[in-house]
Structure formats: C-alpha cells, structure tokens
C-alpha cells in the first residue's frame, strides 16, 4: 500500500512537471529544439507542429536546448554610418534593410539568439556597403541611390543564404550627408545648384532669343503680307477706279443722248405750246374786247341809276334832318316842363335837391378853409366827432368868437403863477425879436 501510494505520488508529480514543461510556439516565432540525436523546428505551418516539451538539458536523453527566432519580417537600421568613396572623401549614410528567416535550422546552427543574428547581419551589411561605396565616387553615389541599393542587396544576398535568411525587399540608401565640420556634399550640391542655375539661365536666354527671332520673323511676315495686301488692294482699287470711270463715261453718254431726245421732245412741246398760246391769246383778246364793251355799257347805266337814287336819298335825308332838329329843340323844353311839374308836386324830391346843393356849398367852403390854413402854416389838433365839426372849430380861431376865447385863455394863465411865468417868457422873447 505504501509502495503504491509512493508510486502514485511520483506519477502525479511527474504529470505536473510534464505539464509545466509543455511549450506552445507563438505564430510569429520558430523554436529550434536540439536533442541528443537530432534538431527539430517547431512553429506554425511546420511539419513538426507547434507544441513540444522543454526538458532541462541536464536530464539525460530527454534534455533539450532551444533557439527562438522570429518568422516575421524584421528590419535592420544602419544609422549614421561613416563611409568613404574611392577618393577617401568621408560622408555619413543611413541604410534600411528588411529580412526574413527562411531556414530556421541553418540560422540555429549559426547563432544562439536572435540578437546575435541581428548583430551578424548588421556586420554583413556594413561590410558590403563599405566595399561597394569605396569603389565609387561620391557624386555617382549621390546620383544613383537606387542603383547602389540594388548593388547592396545583391552583395548581401550571397552571404545571407549561409545564415538561412533572405531579403524581403531591396536595401534602401535612405540618406547621404556630410560629417560634422565637413562640407563635401554641401559643395557638390552647391556646384549642382549653380550648374542647374546656369543651365536654366542658358535655356531661358535661348528661349528668349528664339522668341525674339520668332517675333522678328512674324513681324517681317506680317509686314510682307501687309505690303502684298496693299499691292493687291491698290491694283483692285485702280481696276475699280477704271471700271468706275468707264461706267461714268458710258452713263454720261447715255445721259447726253437721252438729254438730246428729251430736248427735241421739249422743243416740239414748246412749239405746240406757242401755237396754242397764240391762239388762246387771240381768243382772249376778242373775248376781252367784248367784255370791255359790255362793261362800259353796264357802267354807264349804273352811273345813271346811281345819280338818280342819290338825289332821292338827299331829299329824304334833308327831311329827316329837319325832323330831327325840331325834335332836338323841343326835347329840353319838354323835359324842363315835365321836371317842373314833378318838382312842384313832389316835396321829398324838393328836399333832396336842397340837400345836394348844401353839400356842394359845404364842400366849396371846406376847400377854401383848407387852402387858407395851409397858407397860414397853423397846426391844429381837432378833437371832434366828425371832420366837418373839427374844421369848423379850427376856423373859430380867425373869427371874433375865437379871439374872445383866446383872450380868456390868456387871462386865465396870467392869474396863476406858472401861467404868469410862462407869459413873461413869451413876452420877453417877443421883445427880443
């Protein structure tokens, strides 16, 4: 029982240990397992599968050694690598390469780890690049990057097969530049720039020259064409002028012939008109004489009738004038008689006539008073109800009534001290005058 239990325990431990040693290879890796008698690669798409047991190498028979390598594409960068051309001119380059392991068994025989493989591949690339660049001039290197990339790839490919590795794509020469304190590439670029500028300016000058030549040629062609056009135009104008002159002459001849025919017809018409005119004038003279005779007779008869009627008109007119004069003489008398009769019987009309006469008299008196006042140069302010009343009061100044009133006024002034003083001043001024 004890022995069975011990066996069971050991069996369980062995199973657990075996499970812990089980390895599953990732899809982007390959594990090269070295046993005592053979080497086997485990990984995706490999005939041996991707599962194995990694027993420690110290265990007899079962112990193994393994090398892990990637099966995916990996890059190798060569940055700031110092190189020389055939003339030992220094420069720095950047190179990038892409590799893939195609035979993991060969790679496992060459290296013990991927880092060691990476370092060896880097050394291979450096050696190939150094040997190729050292046999070329730097100007050729600058101008043919793609070409040198293919040369790098071919040079490295022959050695990669010995490591079970291959190129995925051509090695790329990424950049070429000067070392610090070195201006070789800079000078080459400046020379290239100046050469490009020279070519550009030369090409521009040639293009300008060709343009000027073309413009000159075009101007000359245009001038020639213009002269030819003028010549053709002149010839056509001369021909047209000649044709016009001929047409004018022919037209003038036709006009003259037509004028001759027209003149002959006009003369015939004039002759017919003159004959007809003479006949008409003759007929008119006869007719006129007859008319004058009849007119004279009619005029004489008319004068006789006119004189007879004129005498009758004078007689009638005299009688009418006499009647009119008689009526004129009797009209005022009859009017006065009628007016007297009316006045005598109408008292209101009599009052009306008297009032009119009084107004006329007052008007005449007022006009004479105004004339007297204007000549006397007296200024009176009349405060009365009507102009006539005011005017009558003014006229009182030159009447006895007015004088009495003036004396009374002076007596009243002399009775008061103020009035007396005033009259004294007036008297003194009079005496001085």
The CATH number of whichever domain residue 177 belongs to comes to 3.30.479.30
Report residue 265 as tokens. Answer: 């017809």
- What is the Cα–Cα distance from 263 to 235, expressed in whole angstroms? 41
Do 193 and 185 form a contact (C-beta atoms < 8 A)? no
Listed residues 166, 182, 198: the one ending a domain: 182
Considering the domain boundaries, does residue 123 fall inside one? yes
Please say whether the beta carbons of 185 and 91 come within 8 A: yes
Mark whether 53 and 17 lie in a shared domain: yes
Q: Compute the radius of gyration of the chain from its Cα atoms.
A: 81
Q: Among 157, 158, 95, which Cα is nearest to 130's?
A: 95
In the numeric block, the tokens 């006065």 are attached to 336
Is 327 inside any structural domain? no
Is residue 81 within 8 A of residue 93, CB to CB? The reply is yes
Partners of 173 in the beta sheet?
Answer: 95
Give the residue carrying structure tokens 């995925």: 168
Q: What is the pLDDT of residue 107?
A: 81
Is residue 114 domain-shared with residue 147, that is, in the same domain? yes
Contact criterion met (CB below 8 Å) for 133 and 87: no
Length of the chain: 433
Q: Which two tokens stand for residue 167?
A: 């190129």
Q: Does one domain contain both 86 and 126?
A: yes
Task: Say whether 143 sits in a helix, a strand or coil.
Answer: helix
- What whole-number distance in Å separates Cα of residue 125 and Cα of residue 81? 11
Q: What is the pLDDT of residue 262?
A: 86
* Residues 87, 49 share a domain: no
- The backbone torsions φ and ψ at residue 100, rounded to the nearest 5 degrees and listed phi first, read -150, 140
Tell me, yes or no, whether 298 lies in a domain: no
Residue 129 and residue 59 in one domain? no
Residues of the chain with pLDDT under 70: 1-2, 4, 9-10, 12, 14-15, 17-18, 47, 333, 335, 337, 339-340, 342-344, 369-408, 413, 426-433
Per-residue model confidence (pLDDT) at position 431: 44
Q: Is the pTM of this model over 0.75?
A: no
Give Cβ neighbours of residue 22 (< 8 Å, ≥ 6 apart): 51, 53
Interhelix angle 145-160/114-133, rounded to 10 degrees, is: 130
Q: Is residue 394 part of a domain?
A: yes
Q: What are 39's strand-pairing partners?
A: 34
- Residues 104, 137 within the same domain: yes
Q: Is 169 left (phi over 0), alpha (psi -120 to 50) or beta?
A: beta
How far apart are the two ends of the chain, measured CA to CA in Å? 196
Own/partner contacts of 331-340, CB < 8 Å, gap of 24 or more, are none
Q: Are residues 98 and 18 in the same domain?
A: no
Task: Using the structure block, give the residue that is written with the tokens 């390959």.
Answer: 30
| Residues 58 and 95 occupy one common structural domain | no
Categorise residue 330: left if φ over 0, alpha if ψ from -120 to 50, beta otherwise: alpha
Question: Where is the domain boundary, 52, 67, 82?
Answer: 67
> Is 414 within the bounds of a domain?
yes
Out of 28, 43, 67, a domain closes at 67
| Residues 6 or more apart in contact with residue 164 via CB below 8 angstroms | 101, 102, 103, 104, 105, 106, 107, 110
Q: Per the domain annotation, does 59 fall within a domain?
A: yes
Whether residues 38 and 124 fall in one domain: no
Question: Number of folded domains in the chain?
Answer: 3
Look at the block and give the residue holding tokens 């950047």. Answer: 94
CA distance 144 to 327: 157
Determine, yes or no, domain membership for 7. yes
Whether residues 82 and 170 share a domain: the answer is yes
Distance CA 115, CA 291 (A): 162
Has residue 234 been placed in a domain? no
How far apart, in whole angstroms, are the C-alpha atoms of residue 185 and residue 253? 99
d(CA 406, CA 380) in angstroms, rounded, equals 14
Are residue 94 and residue 153 in the same domain, yes or no?
Answer: yes
DSSP letter string over 65-90?
A: EEEEEE-S-EEEEEEEEEEE-TT--E
Q: 26 lies in which domain range?
A: 2-67
All residues at 6 or more sequence positions from 419 whose CB lies less than 8 Å from its CB, including other chains: 412, 413
Q: Are 19 and 110 in a shared domain?
A: no
Nearest to 423 by CA among 431, 433, 413: 413
Residue 367, C-beta contacts closer than 8 angstroms, at least 6 positions apart: none
Map residue 51 onto helix, strand or coil. strand
């Amino acid at each position: 029982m004890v022995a069975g239990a011990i066996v069971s325990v050991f069996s369980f431990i062995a199973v657990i240990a075996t499970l812990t040693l089980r390895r599953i290879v990732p899809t982007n890796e390959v594990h090269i397992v070295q046993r005592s008698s053979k080497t086997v690669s485990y990984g995706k798409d490999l005939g041996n599968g991707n599962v194995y047991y990694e027993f420690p190498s110290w265990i007899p028979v079962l112990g193994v050694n393994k090398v892990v390598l990637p099966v995916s594409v990996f890059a190798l960068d060569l940055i700031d690598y110092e190189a020389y051309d055939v003339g030992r001119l220094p420069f720095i380059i950047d190179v990038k390469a892409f590799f893939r392991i195609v035979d993991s068994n060969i790679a496992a025989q060459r290296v013990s780890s991927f880092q060691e493989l990476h370092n060896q591949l880097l050394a291979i690339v450096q050696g190939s690049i150094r040997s190729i660049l050292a046999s070329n001039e730097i100007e050729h290197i600058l101008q043919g990057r793609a070409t040198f990339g293919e040369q790098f790839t071919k040079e490295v490919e022959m050695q990669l097969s010995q490591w079970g590795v291959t190129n995925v794509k051509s090695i790329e020469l990424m950049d070429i530049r000067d070392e610090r304190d070195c201006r070789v590439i800079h000078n080459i670029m400046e020379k290239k720039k100046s050469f490009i500028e020279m070519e550009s300016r030369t090409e521009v000058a040639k293009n300008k020259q060709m343009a000027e030549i073309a413009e000159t040629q075009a101007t000359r062609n245009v001038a020639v064409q213009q002269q030819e056009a003028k010549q053709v135009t002149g010839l056509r104008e001369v021909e047209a002028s000649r044709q016009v002159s001929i047409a004018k002459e022919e037209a003038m001849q036709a006009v003259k012939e037509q004028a001759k025919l027209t003149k002959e017809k006009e003369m015939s018409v004039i002759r017919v008109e003159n004959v007809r005119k003479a006949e008409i004038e003759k007929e008119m003279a006869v007719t006129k004489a007859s008319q004058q005779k009849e007119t004279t007779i009619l005029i004489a008869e008319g004068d006789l009738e006119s004189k007879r009627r004129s005498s009758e008109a004078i007689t009638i007119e005299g009688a009418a004038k006499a009647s009119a004069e008689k009526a004129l003489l009797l009209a005022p008398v009859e009017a006065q008689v009628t007016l007297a009769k009316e006045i005598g019987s109408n008292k209101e009309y009599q009052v009306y006539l008297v009032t009119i006469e009084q107004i006329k008299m007052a008007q005449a008196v007022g006009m004479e008073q105004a004339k007297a006042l204007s000549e006397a140069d007296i200024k009176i302010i009349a405060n009365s109800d009507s102009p006539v009343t005011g005017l009558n009061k003014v006229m009182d100044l030159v009447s006895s009534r007015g004088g009495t009133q003036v004396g009374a006024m002076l007596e009243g002034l002399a009775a008061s001290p103020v009035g007396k003083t005033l009259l004294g001043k007036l008297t003194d001024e009079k005496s001085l005058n």
